[in-house]
Amino acid sequence: MKLKSEYEVSEALRVAASVKGWRLWRNNVGAGVLNNGKFIRWGLANSSAMENAHVKSADLIGIRPVLITADMIGQTIGQFVSIETKKEGWVFNDDLPHEIAQNTWRELIKSLGGLAIFSTGEIQ
Protein backbone atom coordinates (compact mmCIF):
# COMPACT_ATOMS: atom_id res chain seq x y z
CA MET A 1 0.00 0.00 0.00
CA LYS A 2 1.39 3.40 -1.04
CA LEU A 3 1.87 5.91 1.77
CA LYS A 4 0.27 9.33 1.32
CA SER A 5 2.57 12.11 0.16
CA GLU A 6 2.81 15.38 2.09
CA TYR A 7 0.53 17.00 -0.50
CA GLU A 8 -2.10 14.24 -0.12
CA VAL A 9 -1.92 14.54 3.68
CA SER A 10 -2.29 18.33 3.43
CA GLU A 11 -5.39 18.12 1.22
CA ALA A 12 -7.01 15.47 3.46
CA LEU A 13 -6.33 17.61 6.54
CA ARG A 14 -7.94 20.65 4.92
CA VAL A 15 -11.10 18.66 4.18
CA ALA A 16 -11.21 17.12 7.67
CA ALA A 17 -10.72 20.55 9.26
CA SER A 18 -13.48 22.08 7.16
CA VAL A 19 -15.91 19.36 8.28
CA LYS A 20 -15.10 20.35 11.89
CA GLY A 21 -15.83 24.02 11.14
CA TRP A 22 -12.17 25.04 11.02
CA ARG A 23 -10.62 27.12 8.26
CA LEU A 24 -7.09 26.33 7.06
CA TRP A 25 -5.02 28.04 4.38
CA ARG A 26 -1.78 27.04 2.72
CA ASN A 27 1.15 29.07 4.05
CA ASN A 28 3.70 29.13 1.25
CA VAL A 29 7.07 30.39 2.46
CA GLY A 30 9.93 31.43 0.22
CA ALA A 31 11.98 34.17 -1.35
CA GLY A 32 12.94 35.20 -4.85
CA VAL A 33 13.39 37.91 -7.42
CA LEU A 34 10.40 39.40 -9.22
CA ASN A 35 10.39 40.19 -12.95
CA ASN A 36 11.16 43.82 -12.10
CA GLY A 37 14.34 42.75 -10.27
CA LYS A 38 13.05 43.37 -6.74
CA PHE A 39 13.78 40.73 -4.10
CA ILE A 40 10.76 39.60 -2.08
CA ARG A 41 10.14 37.24 0.85
CA TRP A 42 6.73 35.68 1.55
CA GLY A 43 5.10 33.55 4.22
CA LEU A 44 4.96 33.79 7.99
CA ALA A 45 8.18 34.03 10.05
CA ASN A 46 10.17 34.82 6.94
CA SER A 47 11.20 38.47 7.31
CA SER A 48 14.84 37.46 6.87
CA ALA A 49 16.90 34.40 6.03
CA MET A 50 18.19 34.41 9.61
CA GLU A 51 14.66 34.36 11.06
CA ASN A 52 13.60 31.58 8.70
CA ALA A 53 16.63 29.50 9.62
CA HIS A 54 15.57 29.50 13.29
CA VAL A 55 11.76 29.52 13.07
CA LYS A 56 9.85 27.91 10.21
CA SER A 57 6.10 28.49 10.09
CA ALA A 58 3.81 25.58 9.29
CA ASP A 59 2.30 24.47 5.99
CA LEU A 60 -1.30 25.10 7.05
CA ILE A 61 -2.42 28.13 9.06
CA GLY A 62 -5.93 28.85 10.21
CA ILE A 63 -8.49 29.23 12.92
CA ARG A 64 -10.90 26.96 14.76
CA PRO A 65 -13.90 27.85 16.91
CA VAL A 66 -13.52 27.11 20.63
CA LEU A 67 -16.41 27.39 23.10
CA ILE A 68 -15.27 29.11 26.29
CA THR A 69 -16.61 27.93 29.64
CA ALA A 70 -16.88 29.38 33.18
CA ASP A 71 -16.72 33.21 33.27
CA MET A 72 -17.16 33.50 29.49
CA ILE A 73 -19.91 30.91 29.16
CA GLY A 74 -21.43 30.73 25.74
CA GLN A 75 -18.84 32.85 23.96
CA THR A 76 -16.91 31.37 21.10
CA ILE A 77 -13.40 32.50 20.32
CA GLY A 78 -11.16 31.71 17.38
CA GLN A 79 -8.03 29.78 18.26
CA PHE A 80 -4.99 30.09 15.97
CA VAL A 81 -4.19 26.76 14.28
CA SER A 82 -0.84 25.75 12.79
CA ILE A 83 -0.33 22.35 11.16
CA GLU A 84 2.99 21.19 9.74
CA THR A 85 2.04 18.44 7.30
CA LYS A 86 4.26 15.41 6.86
CA LYS A 87 3.99 12.36 4.63
CA GLU A 88 2.63 9.18 6.15
CA GLY A 89 5.27 7.31 8.12
CA TRP A 90 7.24 10.46 9.02
CA VAL A 91 9.09 10.54 12.36
CA PHE A 92 10.56 13.71 13.90
CA ASN A 93 14.33 13.97 13.49
CA ASP A 94 16.00 16.40 15.89
CA ASP A 95 19.22 16.24 13.84
CA LEU A 96 17.63 18.09 10.91
CA PRO A 97 17.86 21.90 11.20
CA HIS A 98 14.60 22.54 9.33
CA GLU A 99 12.67 20.17 11.62
CA ILE A 100 14.20 21.85 14.68
CA ALA A 101 13.10 25.25 13.28
CA GLN A 102 9.60 23.86 12.57
CA ASN A 103 9.40 22.59 16.14
CA THR A 104 10.50 26.03 17.45
CA TRP A 105 7.47 27.55 15.63
CA ARG A 106 5.20 24.81 17.04
CA GLU A 107 6.36 25.47 20.59
CA LEU A 108 5.95 29.25 20.17
CA ILE A 109 2.36 28.91 18.97
CA LYS A 110 1.51 26.47 21.77
CA SER A 111 3.07 28.78 24.38
CA LEU A 112 0.69 31.56 23.27
CA GLY A 113 -2.44 29.40 23.44
CA GLY A 114 -2.65 28.25 19.84
CA LEU A 115 -3.00 24.73 18.53
CA ALA A 116 0.20 23.69 16.74
CA ILE A 117 0.92 20.16 15.58
CA PHE A 118 2.90 18.03 13.18
CA SER A 119 0.48 15.78 11.31
CA THR A 120 0.68 12.80 9.00
CA GLY A 121 -3.07 12.88 8.53
CA GLU A 122 -4.82 13.29 11.88
CA ILE A 123 -6.23 16.38 13.59
CA GLN A 124 -7.71 16.73 17.05
Q: What is the pLDDT of residues 53-104, one digit of tens each?
A: 999 999 999 999 988 777 777 777 889 999 999 999 999 999 999 999 999 9
Q: In this predicted structure, what is the pLDDT of residue 124?
A: 73
Pairwise CA distance, residues 45 & 20, whole Å: 27
Sequence-ordered strand ranges (E) for 1-124: 23-26, 30-33, 39-42, 60-67, 76-85, 115-119
Q: In this predicted structure, what is the pLDDT of residue 65?
A: 93
Q: In this predicted structure, what is the pLDDT of residue 32?
A: 97
Reference 54, options 116, 102, 115; nearest CA is 102
- Give the pTM: 0.85
Q: In this predicted structure, what is the pLDDT of residue 30?
A: 96
